[in-house]
Amino acid sequence: MRELRTVLDFLRWAVSRFEAAGVCYGHGTDSAWDEAVALVFGTLHLPWDIDRSVLSARLTEGERVELAGRIARRVEQRVPVPYLTGEAWFAGHPFHVTPDVLIPRSPIAELIGRGFSPWLEADRVHRILDLCCGSGCIGIAAALAFPDAVVDLADVSEAALDVARRNVERHRLAERVNVRAGDLFAAVSGETYDLVLANPPYVDAADLDAMPAEYRHEPRMALQAGADGLDFARRILAQARAFLNPGGILVLEVGNSADALMEAFPDLPFFWFDFEHGGDGICMLEQSQLPLGR
């Protein structure tokens, strides 16, 4: 600690410790350097585009102690950086996060950036549902992308909804983003939408047991979805049609359970998205393609 004085000192030290410890990346970064930048800049409340001359700035003793402690927790306890700093970025926007919610990382961010074109026309999107919303990042990013739309955020976890409410306030969207409590569509009984974005738990039993330590800090209830990872996807597909307006679409994320989904529903014409910036396991169905439900 006595030898570490500047921002750059801590960046270099963090990279060395991360590499030596073999930490797992995947909560917003994919390298030791990016992980170190996220931790050091996030702790010091520095913007990502700061002038490089600031890297030589000397830190206060309090800042050095806090950074050393967080780097130690990242390495020794495998706590993901967003839980250490309390913030994650999604679709170009910052979000408050706690261990009560998954750390935002869904490729749905790329679809939001495209405005879901060509499947939807922006001026015809008036109602959006973020199902299993967690921190609310997907629905809030969609609200920012569709400024004329009303958005509902739905989740069964009250702790997660508290985080979502904080993010709604942070982005000043309380007038058109609603937080709804309930189990899947029970949270929005009687409502219909032009776009349903569903990122439910989808990790199957085998993958859950094999997860790196970093992912075990996330809420298990937001990950586990039975033996084949489809416990929630099945329920969503059975009910979604009644909650979509004609011409509306369901975007469903199932990650590594994609093959299991296609095997379980061979007659459904899933459209699988390709992503320029990485990611897979996200499909789409139009309202008319969904099962009639029960």
User: In sequence order, what are the residues at sequence separation of 6 or more whose Cβ sits closer than 8 angstroms to the Cβ of residue 186?
Assistant: none
Token pair, residue 288, equals: 């008319």
Only one residue has tokens 């003793």, namely 61
| pLDDT (0 to 100) of residue 17 | 96
Looking only at the bridges linking them, the beta strands covering 193-198 and 244-253 are: parallel
pLDDT in tens, 7-64: 999 999 999 999 999 999 989 899 999 999 999 999 999 998 888 888 999 999 999 9
Burial class (CB in 10 A: 0-12, 13-18, 19+), 249: buried
Q: Which helix (H) or strand (E) holds 271?
A: strand 271-272
Q: Is the pLDDT of residue 108 over 80?
A: yes
Q: What percent of the chain has pLDDT over 70?
A: 99
What 8-state DSSP symbol labels residue 202?
A: -
| pLDDT (0 to 100) of residue 174 | 96
Q: Is the pLDDT of residue 293 over 70?
A: no
User: In sequence order, what are the residues at sequence separation of 6 or more whose Cβ sits closer than 8 angstroms to the Cβ of residue 85?
Assistant: 38, 39, 42, 43, 70
CB 16 within 8 A of CB 39: no
Token pair, residue 276, equals: 């320029």
C-alpha distances in Å from residue 238, one per residue of 66, 114, 248: 49, 28, 16
CB 272 within 8 A of CB 283: yes
Token pair, residue 56, equals: 């030589």
Q: Is the pLDDT of residue 290 over 70?
A: yes
Q: Is the pLDDT of residue 240 over 90?
A: yes
What 8-state DSSP symbol labels residue 176?
A: T
Strand ordering across the sheet containing 271-272? 177-181, 150-155, 127-131, 193-198, 244-253, 282-286, 271-272
Work out the average pLDDT over 168-180.
97
Token pair, residue 284, equals: 């789409």
